[in-house]
Amino acid sequence: MVRTLERRLDVEVPARTEAAARARVLIVADFSASKLGNASVAEQLAAKLRAAGDDVITTSDQTNRLMRVSDMVVSALRHRHAVDVAIIDVYSGAAFRWAEWTTSILRSAGTPVIHVLRGGNLPRFAAANPDRVRRLFALSNAVVALSGFLYEEMAPYGPVAEVIPNPLEASAYPYTRRATATPEMVWLRSFNAIYNPTLGPRVLAEVASVYPAGSPVGARLTMIGSDQGDGSLQSTEAVANELGVRDQLVLKGRVPKAEVPQHLSKADVFINTTDVDNVPITVLEAMACGLCVVSTDVGGLPYLLADGVDALLVPRDDPAAMAKAVLRVVEEPGLADRLSSNGRAKAESFDWSRVLPRWRSLIASVAVQGEKR
């Protein structure tokens, strides 16, 4: 089984011809986070393509879900004859519908479509809805997976053309090498049950039993993220109170994207507690800053992280195992240094300078299919 992305990232990117140097692109994705000051990966891709000279239309930045889907459908109808290629994000659940609807509109007009598979829940959704997924893949001119995990899990439903990972701007994340580490931990995600945030204070309690509050290197955990309204935030605080570590838990709430590096850099260990995941950009952000990553081994994470090389992987929902890994980072000679330096190198391999040429090459090749219609 292929467990890494490097094999597909290191292939040579074909040169683009002058005729293909510009493309008219419609990107169908959730751009609503941009109104809150947090540019999504789709928003960043749009900006990078524009800067490279492509003509890019995006939909939708509506914060209301119904309005957002309506805007996507209307935009697909309006621009179906005016673009060379459409890029459509594909999520599981109710969001799968807008991929189906916009794809149907665009393909009926002969517009080539690139589907981008997103979300760690997509394989489970596909297993429950195989016919719908196969129909969507049959309409696709190219399917892009964000990880080796999705590449392998989704291949039974149709050909997956590329693995192009979520990129980041590595230069935006100041790097501090952790030659040694303290039990100063940080968590960055939205408070949603699928990310298992209550594991955070449970890990904190285990680590604090070795490094209690008031000691020279007392354990502390800062949790950063928005409240998704499912009770996860309240449950996390309740668990911290129950375990007696509330004073060592800092709940920051959502922070603007531009401030993420400075908040991450205050810690030495990044804990990723999720039960479901693909290739979380937050983990790459932590690695870019030089933090030592301790993560659950679910979904696409074993494809992204090399256990013992650039991160430590533990079973899901196991506070003792995660705490033991954190203590290893703090106490095992040379481990923090190795994880920190290798983590930064891994993050740099996901830089936009490497990923954008792959996107432009794929767009150019798919656009040719539209020219032949």
* CATH superfamily, with its number, for domain 170-348: Glycogen Phosphorylase B; (3.40.50.2000)
- Separation of alpha carbons 92 and 122, rounded Å: 5
Reference 266, options 227, 305, 322, 220; nearest CA is: 220
- Separation of alpha carbons 83 and 12, rounded Å: 27
Confidence of residue 195 (pLDDT cuts 50, 70, 90): very high
| Residue 276 pLDDT greater than 80, yes or no | yes
13 DSSP 8-state letter: P
Asked if 1 contacts 8 with a C-beta cutoff of 8 angstroms, the reply is no
The average pLDDT across 70-97 equals 96
- Which residues have CB under 8 Å from 224's CB, separation 6+? 186, 187, 188, 252, 253, 254, 255, 260, 263
Enter the tokens of residue 111: 């517009």
Asked if 134 contacts 100 with a C-beta cutoff of 8 angstroms, the reply is no
Enter the tokens of residue 64: 């209301």
- Separation of alpha carbons 171 and 125, rounded Å: 36
Share of the chain above pLDDT 70, in %: 92
The average pLDDT across 229-239 equals 97
Confidence of residue 11 (pLDDT cuts 50, 70, 90): very low
| Residue 53 pLDDT greater than 70, yes or no | yes
The average pLDDT across 29-51 equals 84
Query: What is the number of H-type helices and E-type strands within the chain?
Result: 15, 12
Environment class of 318 (CB within 10 Å of its CB; exposed 0-12, middle 13-18, buried 19+): middle
| Residue 41 pLDDT greater than 50, yes or no | yes
Which of 118-122, 248-252, 258-262 shows the lowest mean pLDDT across its residues? 118-122
Average pLDDT, the chain: 92
Longest dimension (CA), the chain: 71
Burial 6-33 (b: 16+ CB within 10 A, else e): eebeeeeeeebeeebebbbbbbbbbbbb
- Separation of alpha carbons 102 and 111, rounded Å: 11
Q: Within the chain, which residue ranges are assigned CATH 3.40.50.2000?
A: 6-167+351-365, 170-348
Reference 287, options 305, 266, 299, 263; nearest CA is: 305
> pLDDT tens for residues 106-157?
999 999 999 999 988 999 999 999 999 999 999 999 999 998 999 999 999 9
Q: Name the pTM for this structure.
A: 0.85
The average pLDDT across 341-361 equals 96
Residue 33, pLDDT score: 78
Residue 108, pLDDT score: 96
Name the H helices within the chain. 6-9, 41-51, 65-79, 96-108, 122-128, 130-138, 148-154, 199-208, 232-243, 260-264, 281-288, 301-304, 319-331, 335-348, 352-371
Residue 20, pLDDT score: 46
The average pLDDT across 173-183 equals 98
Reference 260, options 340, 350, 172; nearest CA is: 172
Q: Write the CATH number of the domain with boundaries 6-167+351-365.
A: 3.40.50.2000
